[in-house]
Amino acid sequence: MKSIILIILFCNILVNGEFLNFEPFLSLECGGVPSGIGYSVSPYICINNMGGFFDIGQYDYQSWYFGISPSSSSSSSSDSNGGFAIYANSFEQENCTGSPSTTFNLGSQGQCIESPLFVTINATFDKIYNYSSSYFYVSITDGPQYTDDSIVYEVYSNENPSSSSSSSDSVCTNNNFLYASFITNGLEIDYEKPSSLKETYSCNKGAPFVDRCSSGKKCFNEHIGISCNSKVSPSDSVNIVCSK
pLDDT, average across residues 91-96: 90
- Measure the CA–CA gap between 68 and 108, rounded to whole angstroms: 9
pTM reported for the whole predicted model: 0.81
In three-state secondary structure terms, 13 is helix
How many domains is the chain built from? 1
Whether 60 has a pLDDT exceeding 60, the answer reads yes
Q: d(Cα 32, Cα 25) in Å, to the nearest integer?
A: 8
**Closest to 38 in 3D by CA, of 156, 175, 135:** 135
pLDDT at residue 123 is higher than 70:
no
Beta strands in 9-128 (DSSP E): 19-25, 37-41, 46-48, 63-70, 84-91, 102-108, 112-113, 123-125
Which residues span the domain enclosing 147? 2-242
221: Cα separation from own chain's centroid: 25
Q: What is the pLDDT of residue 82?
A: 53
Within a 10 A sphere around the Cβ of 146, how many other Cβ atoms?
24
